[in-house]
Amino acid sequence: MTGLVIPLNEAAAAPEAANEQPAGNIAQLVALVRDDMERVNREILSRARSNVDLIPEIAGHLIDSGGKRLRPMLTLAAAQMCGYAGDHHITLATSVEFMHTATLLHDDVVDDSDMRRGRKSARMVWGNEASVLVGDFLLGQAFRMMVSTGSLEALEVLSDAASVIAEGEVLQLSTANNLETTEDEYLEVIRSKTAALFAAAAQVGPIIAGQDKSVVSAFRCYGSNLGLAFQLIDDALDYGGSSAKLGKNTGDDFREGKVTLPVVLAYRRGSDDDRAFWKSSLGRAGDEALERATSLLDRYDALADTVARARHYGEMARDALAPLPAGEHKQALLEAIAFCTARAH
Amino acid sequence: MTGLVIPLNEAAAAPEAANEQPAGNIAQLVALVRDDMERVNREILSRARSNVDLIPEIAGHLIDSGGKRLRPMLTLAAAQMCGYAGDHHITLATSVEFMHTATLLHDDVVDDSDMRRGRKSARMVWGNEASVLVGDFLLGQAFRMMVSTGSLEALEVLSDAASVIAEGEVLQLSTANNLETTEDEYLEVIRSKTAALFAAAAQVGPIIAGQDKSVVSAFRCYGSNLGLAFQLIDDALDYGGSSAKLGKNTGDDFREGKVTLPVVLAYRRGSDDDRAFWKSSLGRAGDEALERATSLLDRYDALADTVARARHYGEMARDALAPLPAGEHKQALLEAIAFCTARAH
C-alpha cells in the first residue's frame, strides 16, 4: 500500500483538522447510511422475532436501549464506498449487530453487571439464565443470516471473529485482577474482544463487493485500529475521561476489578505504597477507594496517556484508509475516528 | 418415500429383533466409525487448543468425561453410508460435538448444575463466567470448522440448528415449573433442544455426499425422531428408568423443578391432592418429596408410558430409514435406536 499517492484534498483534511470536529459528531456517517440503517433496524426486529415471547422481549430491551450501532454502520458505509449494489450488506450488518448484542448479554452475566447503557441490565430483569440463552439464540440467528448471503469469505471472517472474541473474553477472565498485566497483554485482550468485531464489520462490505485483497486489508486495518481506539477511550471514560472526575456512571471497571490500561499504567508508574493500594482496593466497592484511585490515575497521567494511546491507534486507522479514494464515504469514516477519540473530553 | 420395497433381510431383522439386543450395545456403530472417530478425537483436541490455558482445560474436562459421542458418530456413519469419500465429514462431526459441548456448558450455568456425567460440572470448578465464555468459544470454533468445509447447505442446516436449540432452551426456561405444560408443548421443547442437533448431525453427511433431497430428508427424519426417543428415555432415567427406583444419580430434574414428560403425565393423571403435592414440591430438595414423587410416577405409569412414547419415536426413526438400502451401516443405525430406547431398563 505504500507508494500510493494520497490525493491533495485528503492530505489537507488530515489529521489535525478532523480532531477539531465537535466531539460526538458522526453526522456524516449517520446521514450516508440512514436509508440502509432503517432496513437494518427492520431486519433486527424481524430476526429477533420468535414464538418464545422472552426472546423479542429481551432482545428488544437491548436493541432499543440506544446503542450507537457503530459496527453495523461501518459495514454499511464500507459496502457503499466499494460500490456494492446488492442487499447482503443489510444482512451482514444485522449479523454484526446481533453478534455484538449476544456478547453484551453474555458479558453482563460474566461481569455480574447491574446496569447496561444506563438501564437495568437484562440479567437483572430476566435473570442470568435467559441472558445466556437469548445470547445464544442471537448468535445462532447471526450465523443463519451470514449463511443466507452465501459468501463463504464473509462467513470465514465473521466466524473467525466469533471465536477470537470469545477467546479474548476468556483471556480477560484469566487475567482479571492481575495487576502485573503488561500493556501488551492488555492490548491482546482488547484486540480480541473489541477490535476483532470492528475489523470484521469493516471488512465484510468490501468482501461482498468483490474488492481486491489489498482493499479488504485496508478496511480490516482501519476497523481493527478504530476498535482499539474505541475501547481505550471507553476505558478512560469509565474513570470520567481524560482527566479523572467522578460521575454517576464512573468507576464500574474499578469496582469489578478490571485491569484496564489506565490501571496498568498507574500501577507501573506508582510507588510501592500506590501498588499496595491497588492490590488491596481494586475490585472493592466504596467511594473512598475510588477517589484515591482516580487521584492516582491523575497523578501519573494514566488517563491522559490512555487517550494518547487511543489517538495513536486512531492515526493508524486513518493511515489504513490512505490508499482508498477520497470522497464523502472516506470522509465519514475519518470522522468516525475523530468521534471515537474525542469522546473522552 | 412410500412405495419403496423394503429388502427382506431388513424386514426379518426389524423391529422386535433389535429390541432383543443387550441394552447399551452400539458395538456395530462404534466399530464402523472407529477409524473416523479417532480422527474426530484428534480434531477435537486440536480445535480446543488455545494460548489461553483455561480453554483447553475446560474443554478437556468435558471432552474427556466419557460422553458417548453419539451425535458425531451419526454424522460419520451417515456420511459413510452415502459413500462420501472426502474429509469434511470429520470436520462436520467435530463441529456437531463442539455445538453439543457448548450447549452442555451453558446448560449447567442455566440449571445451576453441580454435577455433569458423574463429575463436578465445569461451572463448579471454574465458575459460571468461564463456562459461558468457553461455551461461546467452542460455538465459534464449530462455525469456523463448518465454514471451512465450504458447504453452504451443511452450514444452513447447522446454523439453523444452533438457533433452534437456543430457542428451545429459552422456551424451556419460560415453561420451567409450569405444571400445566401439555405433552405437545413439552415435545416442542425437546424437539428444539435435543432433536434438532440429532437431525442436523444425521443430515450433514448425506448433504456433503451430494445425496438427493429425499435421502437427506430420510436421514433428517431418522435423526430427529432418534433425538426425541433419546431425550424421553433420559427423562425417564432421571427418575431411575421405566419403574421408578431411587438411586444416587436420580431426581436431578425434580430438584431443579423441570417439568419433563413423566411429570406432565403424572400431574394430569393425578388427583387434586397429587397435583397440590407437585405444585408445592417440584423444585425442592429433600428425599421425602422425591420419594413421594417417584411413588406417584409409579402409580400413574408415568415412567413406563414415557418409555412407551420413546419407543413410538424410535419406530418413526426406524421407518424413516426404510427406503435406504440395507447393509451394515443401516443395521448400525437401527441398533442405535435400540440402544437409545433400551437404556431405561
Q: Which amino acid is at B214?
A: S
Enter the CATH code of domain A8-342.
1.10.600.10
Q: What is the DSSP code (8-state) at residue B7?
A: P
Phi, psi of A115, rounded to the nearest 5 degrees = -125, 150
SS3 B288: helix
Size of interface A-B (CB pairs under 8 A): 140
Record the cell numbers describing residue A54, joined without a space: 422472552
Chain A environment of B174 (Cβ under 8 Å): 52-54
**Cell 419433563, residue?**
B260
Query: Residue type at A318?
Result: R
C-alpha cell at A286: 466504596
**Which of B245, B259, B244 is closest to B305 using CA atoms?**
B244
Chain B residues close to A164, C-beta within 8 Å: 140
Peptide bond into A325 cis (omega under 30): no
Q: Is some CB atom of chain B closer than 8 A to the CB atom of A30? A: no
Say if residues B194 and B260 touch (Cβ distance below 8 Å). no
**Which set of grid coordinates corresponds to residue B304?**
413406563
- Alpha-carbon distance of B312 to A240, in angstroms, equals 63
Instruction: Indicate the DSSP class of residue B191.
Output: I
Which pLDDT score, from 0 to 100, does residue B244 have?
60
For residues B140 and B167, what is the distance between their CA atoms, to the nearest angstrom?
Answer: 18
E strand or H helix that includes residue A315: helix A302-321
pLDDT at B21: 40
Q: What is the pLDDT of residue A246?
A: 57
- Tell me how far CA of residue A100 lies from CA of A71, A72, B52, B64, B334, in angstroms: 8, 10, 22, 32, 43
Cβ contact B128–A106 (<8 Å): no
Burial class of residue B320 in the structure, from the number of CB atoms within 10 Å of its CB (0-12 exposed, 13-18 middle, 19+ buried): buried
Cβ-defined contacts of B185-192 (< 8 Å, 24+) = B186/B259, B186/B260, B186/B261, B186/B264, B187/B228, B190/B227, B190/B228, B190/B231, B190/B232, B191/B224, B191/B227, B191/B228, B192/B164, B192/B165, B192/B167, B192/B168
Q: Does A110 touch chain B (CB under 8 A)?
A: yes
Q: What φ, ψ does residue B115 adopt, rounded to 5°?
A: -125, 155
- As a whole number of angstroms, the distance between CA B296 and CA B286 comes to 16
Out of A109, A137, A159, the one facing B170 most closely (by C-beta) is A137
Those of residues 114-143 in A touching chain B at CB distance below 8 A are: 128-130, 132-134, 136-137, 139-141, 143
Nearest-CB residue to B166 (from A140, A156, A170): A140
Nearest to B311 by CA among B256, B254, B233, B249: B233
Distance between B49 CA and the closest CA of chain A, angstroms: 11
H helix or E strand, kind and range, residue A120: strand A119-120
Q: Which of these, B133, B138, B189, lies nearest to B166 by C-alpha position?
A: B189
Strands A115-116 and A119-120, bridge-based pairing: antiparallel
CB A170 within 8 A of CB B133: yes
User: Which amino acid is residue A129, in one-letter code?
Assistant: E
Residues of chain A with pLDDT under 70: 1-24, 66, 242-249, 345
Domain boundaries, chain A: 8-342
Which of B54, B143, B146 lies closest to A170 in CB terms? B54
Is the four-CA dihedral A51, B179, B267, B289 of positive or negative sign? Answer: positive
Residue B59 is predicted with a pLDDT of 82
**Each residue of B305-342: pLDDT tens digit?**
999 999 999 999 999 999 999 999 999 999 999 999 98
Residues of B whose CB is below 8 A from A148: 156
B326 in A contact zone (CB under 8 Å): no
Cβ of residue A99 closer than 8 Å to a chain B Cβ: no
Architecture of domain B10-342: Orthogonal Bundle (1.10)
Low-confidence ranges of chain B (pLDDT < 50): 1-23
Strand pairing partners for A116?
A119
A153/B contact by beta carbon, under 8 A: no
Burial state string for A222-260 with b = 16 or more CB within 10 A and e = fewer than 16: bbbbbbbbbbbbbbbbbbbbbbbeeeeebbebbebbbbb
Contact at CB, A128 and B109, closer than 8 angstroms: yes
Residue A14's alpha-carbon distances to A21, A222, A327, A331, in angstroms, are 12, 15, 13, 10
Given this model, what pLDDT does residue B247 score?
Answer: 58
- What are the strands, taking DSSP E only, across chain B? 115-116, 119-120
- Give me the residues of A, 168-197, that contact B with CB < 8 A: 169-171, 173-174
Cross-chain Cβ contact B147/A155 below 8 Å = yes
- Provide φ and ψ at B219, rounded to 5°: -65, -40
What's the pLDDT at A60?
84
